[in-house]
Amino acid sequence: MLLTLVVLGALTAPTNDAELSRLVWERSVDLQGARARIAQARADAARAHLLPNPGLDVGYNTIPIGVHNPANEPFFSIPNLQVGVSELVELGKRGPRQDATAQIARAVGFDTIEQLRQRFFDVKELYADIATSQARIASFTQLVEGATRLRQLEEARAAHGETSSLDVDRAQVEEDKLRSSLAEENERLRAGLRNCTLALGDACEPFGDAAAATSFLEVLARTSEVGRFEARPDLRALSAQADAARAAGVLAERRAIPDLTVRFGYVKDWFVTSGNQPNSLFVGVSLPLPVFDHGQHDAQAAAVLAQTSERSRVLLLESSRQSLTGIGVELTAFDERRNRLRGSTIPLAKRIVERLEEAVTRGGATLQDLILARRTLEELFIDALDLELATYKLSITRARLSGVVPPLPPELNLEPAP
């Protein structure tokens, strides 16, 4: 969908979904912290593939204190120097830890994509609000101009005694009312621009003119983008969380298997008088005894987390499917109303106002009839614009629920390369 005609400060206007997605990813304040979370999760996943760091042990042992044995043995010939390396050998834990951290990284990535997706649709709705305000301003401006001409006509007629001052007052009140509505709509446009600025971190400007805004709305109203449930990032994040919890449960259960710490080293001994070897090696193994804590409680917590994640996914999927059914019915009704308004009702109301204006000018109709006809036309214009906006926002809701995903920046590509 094209998103031209909006300029964001010094930034180039987004011309398509890919550019808008990139803009939201780079400028949305809410998404800046997500970069750090993704980096940390990926670092944890990469670290799980590394071996534990070995340990270096250096000892200077049997340092004599007091009288030497034998008494004539010099000090420097009694101690020995020991240098060793120890390495932890995990049994049955590396695989589950790698699976758990990888799934956690995927869950964080899908959560971030969901954040980007929601902000992306939020910005689209902000654009629609701005366009609607501009289109309504254009309609109110035309009505104000017509009311001003009518008020001036009534003043001229009253000056020649052709009408009463009451009609002049009525025309003035109608003009003031429309000017008030126009000012209110201008304030609504400024509020929309402020919200856009907050969302994208730079000053937003309105569309070039009312025709561009109206064209933008018409394109949006025809939006029928529908995604696939299996592509929804929040559902995929819940699946990844469940997989991570199951892998964490396996890791917790395997804490019952003691890990080995293998030690290997060299001893240099100068106390050969006692029969010690001047050069020797040593090899040793140590292991913990998982008697009390062997991961049983962590395994239970992981099982509960996996169940709740799966349950949340099922409930979210069911509620989304039910909502989509109702949205389809609503969109059909909106289309029928919009076609009726644009196709017949508004053109008929315009013709009535035009005929009444001519009749009032000739004195063949009352001012009150014209005012009522203009108010009706005004309400129909606003109804049509509001209906188009409601149709688009309902289409956005359908896109959110069905799993439409905008083009993603390279940093969020979670699928393996072919």
- Closest C-alpha among 28, 49, 173, 161 to residue 105: 49
User: pTM of the entire structure?
Assistant: 0.77
Domains of the chain: 17-412 (1.20.1600.10)
Q: Which amino acid is at 285?
A: V
pLDDT at 3: 42
Could you give the CA distance from residue 389 to residue 409 in angstroms, rounded to a whole number? 29
Sequential DSSP letters for 368-382? HHHHHHHHHHHHHHH
The full 3-state SS of 104-149, as one line of letters, equals HHHHHHHHHHHHHHHHHHHHHHHHHHHHHHHHHHHHHHHHHHHHHH
pLDDT at 10: 36
Quote the radius of gyration of the chain (alpha carbons, Å): 38
Which letter does DSSP use for residue 342 in this model? Answer: I
Structure-derived torsion over alpha carbons of residues 359, 363, 368, 372, reported in degrees to the nearest 10: 10
Could you give the CA distance from residue 223 to residue 324 in angstroms, rounded to a whole number? 15
Whole-angstrom CA distances from 407 to 110, 240, 243, 328, 372 are 14, 21, 26, 25, 49
User: What would the pLDDT profile of 88-97 be if each residue is shown by its tens digit?
Assistant: 999 999 999 9
User: Which DSSP helix (H) or strand (E) runs through 281?
Assistant: strand 279-286
Reading the block at residue 358, the tokens are 């001519």
| 273-294 residues labelled b (16+ CB within 10 A) or e (exposed) | eeeeeeeeeeeeeeeeeeeeeb
Q: What strands, in cross-sheet order, belong to the sheet with 279-286?
A: 55-61, 80-89, 260-269, 279-286
Whole-angstrom CA distances from 134 to 183, 344, 381 are 12, 23, 13
- Which residue ranges in the chain fall short of pLDDT 70? 1-15, 162-163, 218-225, 227, 414-418
Could you give the CA distance from residue 169 to residue 368 in angstroms, rounded to a whole number? 11
- Closest C-alpha among 29, 14, 117 to residue 412: 117
Helices 94-159, 17-27: axis angle to 10 degrees equals: 110
- Closest C-alpha among 15, 209, 206, 199 to residue 129: 206
Phi, psi for 269 (deg, rounded to 5): -120, 125
Reading the block at residue 392, the tokens are 């688009």
Could you give the CA distance from residue 184 to residue 172 in angstroms, rounded to a whole number? 18
Reading the block at residue 408, the tokens are 């993603």
E strand residue ranges, 168-259? none
pLDDT at 240: 94
